[in-house]
Structure 1
């Protein structure tokens, strides 16, 4: 599932690419003792000699039953993805920079002269019923995404750039003309035709092609409209990964056993059980070792960090939280963002003052467990040289905030400042509820900071909003919203176009300028096949976004997993994600 971007504290998958996270994290000082400790964590458990057999129980931390839609093209929650892990294997392995390599179940070759991508499945890559994965299985993945009857959220403008995809989606063609199977449906080769290729296509998560397959022979008789609710998807899904489904207890657990046809060899374990546990019980479950693998909820870190017989592995996920300013609306008819130059928050000095008044490091140091840290830019550091390490971001500076407001004409009239035109200035902020109990006090802290510089800021409805209601209000540009906090969980291709482009519904601020469009187009242009040029454009874009301050980068966090000390092979490195469960075993 490296190709998904999600949104929501529940990780709602939207489209081929995105996820808004109800950010319950907040940032904190990277200098706390806990953060120092977290930074020392390895992404892998110690490597030891293994033995055959045994059962591993993985905790799936959620306060609601999982939906159990076990198909990458249709699933809408991160929880389903977590439950699918032991059997779900993507077509491609990647390196630690998420660049696709030839080590996985399939290979990929770009032909820039002919604007094609050729995907070749390796011989011996088989479904759990022993059937070879073939070209039709690859092609069928696109049909599921593009057929309107499935209501898949994965049909996006990126996937639609394949020739013939739009005609198929609109019901004007029975097949997708840009998907060619030169050796027939039972061959192993799929050639994908485009008008032009994009530089991001070398990376997993780019959204321009599917990184999954579905067993056509198993699903072909299920109508597209019934696919999502079918037993073949819900009760007896089929995968070509290391384990196959034995039993699904709806919404509660999935039991897996080895796929005897698995192409890399025989998995070591007898069973893997993925079982739901509430977030409130998560720390107790780790301390009592009810589970062999369990995600640590960051606010509970101090309760579990001294647990014996456990190895803690950590990674910094491709995520960030941010503060956004509403300066326009989404025009559904035109399919683009339209900025309002007269919007209350369409004043750069006001936005910058709000950013400088936020004591992000201090607040989160006080209220969180030390596993979250402030970030300077909207491109995470995990993206290597695309990240601008010289970006300054917005450190706490009340003096600078006051100076900016004074100079821009936001004069004080009693306790509060007024607009430059003399009218009262009231600013409403929308914040969603989150699983982290520190969310509320951190938010109230920021509001107090804004009050210190004379800005009359208050929460919409005077409280944090339930997440689904928050999504509805932000997506539909509720006129009450002046600013909002949010977070993105990103795909592993770093282009920000799907989040901040003029035609991106996920550009929730609705900020649009010719310069922003120009920079985003440069990042994904033909010239950007030159890595140095693409890096330069990424750095220019980050500098521009920080200067314009329509979207203020806030925080990211360590993500820690507790793993039974008797287990080896478990890893959270990007290069290990595709075959992780094949390697997991008990030590001798």
Structure 2
């Protein structure tokens, strides 16, 4: 089993190219204040203020979690690797600031009548070893992801191609819906064209020549992926220190023009030293821990850019398990089946207090898993507001039969048996421990005997235990970075392995399918469907939805042309340059 349908992004059942399990986003990625403000001297204003771009120099990009090293888009699982991949890979389809698809390395045409998508590769694109990008590489990526031995998370980004299901089951040797017209043109015949087809269809080629002779099952652990990865992006990998650092150098033959920078160093740092590293110039750019935002904002050599993120933080309930053989979630954990219990536990959490105390208010409290930056965001007045109300929580618990029958200060379950709640959360930031204790105290204040499940867990371990449905995991705090399209299939459908709550709801499945129907080509219709879905999930509450963050990007003033949006700060990195390039 692979982990983290990530966070960024990227990935799962339908429209998950950028769905990704996130690190400790409350500290690592703030969310919530006015995301429209851009710091002076950064972003699009930088070039005019700092003069003409200069060639040369290197920058250091920091992240606060160790990376796995799955450096191919088809295999990566979390934003730790995704942020590296943004420097070394490009997509056939890009996403603009309005979260709409646009041509990247290829022009595309969707024929709804014929159920086809045609990609036409642009000229002059080569892999980092000098080999040209061809449609063979595009087809190869589909073949790898659809292969029976593929264990990654992108299958639902290719299963709409005709013949993929039969190929995946080993019934045929090729995928019938792939037609390579020539080296630049490939036509995909689909089972159906949906409103989000271009956003959902896999758009990252794989270097077929580079992976030659490697079995699909062996690719994730191969040197070609982990030690010597190649891409078509502006920077190529020069050196890797596993889990700690990746040195990249510019790819002079980059198809959009030679990058200004000589190179980029991706470096893993401890979140606690973020402010000091930025102040000392050891770090040029990073997604700043929101807990350190006031200090970072005061730094003379740093611009702090706020950007509403396409993500959300939550506390999940383990309602069941994943049946791998049948490929479905089974909601069979009796402990949290009582919706009134789940609602009581939501009212017991001081969400705004968490946001203010640990993220400097950088976020917006939400009632459903759709952030305000999305066009499908529901008017929150239409949703039940689980505002902090411990007295209401106590009333709901009493009504549901969770009462203290032996006067020990803790509530028993309706059968009079001991009722305890395990809570899992990630390590990795300076506020991880105190925030966890804050949440536990909230539940304890209403008589729920809640405790940490074996202490804080490292990012990868955390998602491992969630995916494997470890019996000791009962509630957990996580975060998701979402795709540009609001289709909730990848996280919430009954047959989604990334549905970590293991929530099964027939009405939810029907609404999700309705949001991809022919009628849903009308965006207003589609939004209304997703609003109804948000009302349903807000009422059923398989997760306690906390807040949508506002990311804070800290950028050293020497670094110019950094453009941010709700996806990332790593847009057009070939245009980044440093003011002191000639001094290095």
* TM-score normalised per structure 1: 0.86
2:325 to 312, 322, 333: 333
Matched with 1:40 is: 37
Structure 1: stretches of 5+ with no match in the other structure:
none
**1:139 Cα deviation (Å)?**
0.8
**1:491 Cα deviation (Å)?**
2.5
1:195 to 2:191 alignment: yes
1:270 to 2:269 alignment: no
**1:247 Cα deviation (Å)?**
4.5
**Cα 1:484–1:247 shift into 2, 3 Å:** closer
- Number of aligned positions between the proteins: 566
Matched with 2:159 is: 160
Contact 2:424 2:473 in 1 (8 A): no
Matched with 1:457 is: 450
Matched with 2:554 is: 562
**Cα 1:246–1:457 shift into 2, 3 Å:** closer
1:145 to 2:142 alignment: no
Pairing of 1:95-174 with structure 2 (within 5 A):
95-102=96-103, 104-149=104-149, 151-174=150-173
Whole-angstrom CA distance in 2 between matches of 1:323 and 1:63: 21
**1:397 Cα deviation (Å)?**
1.8
**1:106 Cα deviation (Å)?**
0.8
Matched with 2:375 is: 384
Pairing of 1:403-422 with structure 2 (within 5 A):
403-413=395-405, 414=407, 415-420=409-414, 422=415
Q: Deviations over 1:164-206 (max 9, x none)?
A: 22333334333222111123xxx21111122112222243xx2
Whole-angstrom CA distance in 2 between matches of 1:570 and 1:29: 18
Q: Deviations over 1:48-84 (max 9, x none)?
A: 23233121222332454x4444321133443333233
Contact 1:29 1:373 in 2 (8 A): no
**Cα 1:447–1:239 shift into 2, 3 Å:** closer
Tell me the SS of whatever aligns to 2:119: strand
Matched with 2:177 is: 178
Pairing of 1:435-446 with structure 2 (within 5 A):
435-446=428-439
Tell me the SS of whatever aligns to 2:117: strand
Contact 1:57 1:275 in 2 (8 A): no
**1:242 Cα deviation (Å)?**
2.5
1:352 to 2:343 alignment: yes
Contact 2:560 2:578 in 1 (8 A): yes
Tell me the SS of whatever aligns to 1:532: helix
Moved over 6 A (4+): 11-15, 26-30, 575-578
Whole-angstrom CA distance in 1 between matches of 2:573 and 2:441: 47
Tell me the SS of whatever aligns to 1:382: coil
2:52 to 43, 50, 66: 50
Tell me the SS of whatever aligns to 1:160: coil
Contact 2:493 2:499 in 1 (8 A): yes
**Cα 1:75–1:329 shift into 2, 3 Å:** closer
Contact 1:28 1:370 in 2 (8 A): no
Contact 2:312 2:548 in 1 (8 A): yes
1:518 to 510, 513, 521: 510
Which range moved further: 567-576 or 158-167?
567-576
Which range moved further: 423-432 or 35-44?
35-44
Matched with 1:301 is: 293
Whole-angstrom CA distance in 1 between matches of 2:301 and 2:27: 30
**1:347 Cα deviation (Å)?**
1.8
Contact 1:501 1:517 in 2 (8 A): yes
Contact 2:424 2:476 in 1 (8 A): yes
Contact 1:339 1:510 in 2 (8 A): yes
**Cα 1:547–1:267 shift into 2, 3 Å:** same
Whole-angstrom CA distance in 2 between matches of 1:467 and 1:249: 19
**Cα 1:111–1:14 shift into 2, 3 Å:** closer
Tell me the SS of whatever aligns to 2:507: helix
**1:496 Cα deviation (Å)?**
1.1
**1:571 Cα deviation (Å)?**
1.3
What is the root-mean-square deviation of aligned Cα atoms in Å? 3.3
1:241 to 229, 233, 238: 233
Which range moved further: 544-553 or 17-26?
17-26
**Cα 1:227–1:385 shift into 2, 3 Å:** closer
**1:289 Cα deviation (Å)?**
0.5
Whole-angstrom CA distance in 2 between matches of 1:254 and 1:437: 24
**Cα 1:132–1:459 shift into 2, 3 Å:** closer
Q: Deviations over 1:498-532 (max 9, x none)?
A: 21111112222222222222222212222212211
Structure 2: stretches of 5+ with no match in the other structure:
none
**1:130 Cα deviation (Å)?**
4.8
Whole-angstrom CA distance in 2 between matches of 1:130 and 1:241: 12
Matched with 2:61 is: 59
**1:237 Cα deviation (Å)?**
3.4
1:548 to 540, 543, 552: 540
Contact 2:12 2:155 in 1 (8 A): no
* TM-score normalised per structure 2: 0.86
**Cα 1:568–1:431 shift into 2, 3 Å:** same
Whole-angstrom CA distance in 1 between matches of 2:568 and 2:292: 27
Contact 2:92 2:105 in 1 (8 A): yes
**Cα 1:393–1:172 shift into 2, 3 Å:** same
Matched with 1:216 is: 208
**1:143 Cα deviation (Å)?**
2.3
